[in-house]
Amino acid sequence: MTTAAPDGRRERKKLATRAALRQAALRLALRDGVENVTAERIADEADIARRTFFNYFSSKEEAVLATAALGAEAVVARFRARPAAESVLTALREAVLEVMDRDDVAGHEHVAVLRLIRRAPSLLPQQLSVLAAQERALAAAITERLDGPDDAYVRLCATTAFAALRVVLDRWLERADDAAPPIDVLRAEVTDAFTTLAGGLDR
Amino acid sequence: MTTAAPDGRRERKKLATRAALRQAALRLALRDGVENVTAERIADEADIARRTFFNYFSSKEEAVLATAALGAEAVVARFRARPAAESVLTALREAVLEVMDRDDVAGHEHVAVLRLIRRAPSLLPQQLSVLAAQERALAAAITERLDGPDDAYVRLCATTAFAALRVVLDRWLERADDAAPPIDVLRAEVTDAFTTLAGGLDR
DNA sequence: GTGCATCGGTGCACGCCGTGCATCAAGTAC
DNA sequence: GTACTTGATGCACGGCGTGCACCGATGCAC
């Protein structure tokens, strides 16, 4: 899910171009604010033609959110890798924490872009769309994990679990607005939310 | 929440202008497909200047989805009107069914726009954004309904309940692709999903 | 009713967006 | 090496979204 198999120079260059544009978009958005970023500026920053930018991303929002999409994909990938003995919610919780707790560049980028989205309402629609796409991927993964689950339950499960994550992450980012985000608090919040879901929502 | 109090000719005319644009947008989208609708065409259809269109809606998508937004607002409004004795999920279920079962023009418009969105992926991002906005309204309504609930629970509840509704409505629209949508099936599906949520999600 | 202040509707201009098309050069297969 | 494939680029064009200035209808005070 990270960078599969770059065989052939062409494929490698395409990957590099895409990565350069994605990183340039994130860098500019963080430095100047999303509203001051244009497709042209992203392309210039990556030293690539404006037309080529649109060969890779259909809008500047998509380019900025590509980093967030990678994060969401990573969560689903980690979910698939969790032991089959774990329940769906437990596996998902651990998957999220694994991704958010990574102390490398990608991990910091994930947090950075999530904070960026909080401050830039214009990114919200597309981000929710990214989430919706990953819901489908998560639903597929849940189907593989369980034995003969009905479609209604799987979709309900994937969607509500992601929705809960959205709330928890939003609250976590809200409180850790500038300080280094305490991962322990995040773990507690996720556990709390998922326990509520598992135990029954209605009061 | 329908049409509050139109006192003053100016206010009435503004309301009329907005409604005319909203209905023109919906009509054109249904007739010609969302991709063939432009702001200019919507404005012409309503016999209003293009510039004025943008005084009311910031994009053609917003104009088309205004009908969907009205539906979501109506659900929250009906939710507030449900007896306080009902649990959150029960009240929300009845609220949704009240809105979807209305046999007037507005009711048919709500269903029509939901079906339109299913076929037009370009509308999805903004629609999810509309939903997110109504999640906040629902959270506020839940806070009023319950006694001293903590913020985390209220947001979790509002978000997951709406997410569940999204899944149920999507499945319902999927199966009733052209036939008159059977409301009884919808009731059963909503009841089923909310029962699962109330009983505990994890298997 | 008259005069004045307010405010919505409109036209204009401008920069950015997203895409079809033709072209060029680098990569690939033989 | 030769010919094919394909990504990068420039160009042009229609649509988008907005600031600005103007005008005429509305609302208000007298």
Q: In this structure, what CATH number is given to the domain that contains residue A122?
A: 1.10.357.10
Please say which residue of A43, A58, A73 terminates a domain.
Answer: A58
Q: What's the CATH code of the domain at B39? A: 1.10.10.60
| pLDDT class of B4 with cuts at 50, 70, 90 | low
Given CA atoms B20, B22, B26, B32 in this order, what sign does their dihedral have?
A: positive
pTM, two decimal places? 0.93
Q: What is the mean pLDDT of residues B47-59?
A: 98
User: What pLDDT is recorded for position B2?
Assistant: 45
CB atoms within 10 A of CB A66: 21
Q: Is residue A31 part of a domain?
A: yes
Q: Is residue B2 part of a domain?
A: no
Note the pLDDT tens digit of each residue in B117-136: 999 999 999 999 999 999 99
- Are residues B80 and B33 part of one domain? no
Q: What is the mean pLDDT of residues B47-66?
A: 98
Q: How far is A134 from chain B (nearest CA, A)?
A: 14
CB-CB contact of A66 with A57 (8 Å): yes
Q: Is residue A2 part of a domain?
A: no
pLDDT(A185) > 50: yes
CB atoms within 10 A of CB A11: 12
Q: Is residue A138 part of a domain?
A: yes
- Are residues A75 and A33 part of one domain? no
- Are residues B166 and B81 part of one domain? yes
- Which two tokens mark A159? 């969607």
User: What pLDDT is recorded for position B5?
Assistant: 57
Helix/strand/coil for A87: coil
- Are residues A75 and A29 part of one domain? no
- Are residues B72 and B20 part of one domain? no
pLDDT(A5) > 90: no
Residue of A nearest to B167 (CA): A156
Q: Of A7-16, A134-143, B48-57, which range is least confident? A: A7-16
User: From the CA atom positions of chain A, what is the Rg in Å?
Assistant: 18
- Are residues A40 and A76 part of one domain? no
Task: Report, in ranges, which bases of strand C sit under 7 Å from a protein C-beta.
Answer: 7-13, 16-21, 27-29
B33: containing domain = 7-58
- Are residues A88 and A32 part of one domain? no
CB-CB contact of B71 with B99 (8 Å): yes
Partner-chain contact B167 A161, CB within 8 Å: no
Report the alpha-carbon distance of residue B111 to residue A163 in Å, rounded.
Answer: 24
- Are residues A145 and A95 part of one domain? yes
Note the pLDDT tens digit of each residue in B25-43: 999 999 999 999 999 999 9
Q: Is residue B137 part of a domain?
A: yes
- Are residues A103 and A36 part of one domain? no
DSSP secondary structure, B183-202, as one string: HHHHHHHHHHHHHHHHH-S-
pLDDT(B178) > 80: no
Partner-chain contact A196 B167, CB within 8 Å: no
- Are residues B154 and B101 part of one domain? yes
Check whether residue B14 has its CB closer than 7 Å to nucleic acid strand C.
yes
Note the pLDDT tens digit of each residue in B70-83: 999 999 999 999 99
Q: What mean pLDDT is reported for chain B?
A: 94
Partner-chain contact B87 A203, CB within 8 Å: yes
Q: Is residue A144 part of a domain?
A: yes
Q: How far is CA B93 from CA A16, B88, B101, in A?
A: 49, 9, 12
- Are residues A76 and A35 part of one domain? no
pLDDT(B3) > 70: no
CA–C1' span, A183 to D13, in Å? 51
Q: Is residue B95 part of a domain?
A: yes
Note the pLDDT tens digit of each residue in A81-123: 999 999 999 999 999 999 999 999 999 999 999 999 999 999 9
Report the alpha-carbon distance of residue A41 to residue A47 in Å, rounded.
Answer: 9
Report the alpha-carbon distance of residue A135 to residue A95 in Å, rounded.
Answer: 14
Q: What share of chain A is helix, strand, coil (3-state, %, to 5)?
A: 80, 0, 20
Note the pLDDT tens digit of each residue in A150-167: 999 999 999 999 999 999
- Are residues A39 and A80 part of one domain? no
User: What pLDDT is recorded for position B9?
Assistant: 86
CA–C1' span, A131 to D30, in Å? 62
Check whether residue A108 has its CB closer than 7 Å to nucleic acid strand C.
no
Q: Is residue A1 part of a domain?
A: no
Nearest nucleotide, CA A48 to C1': D8
Domain count of chain A? Answer: 2
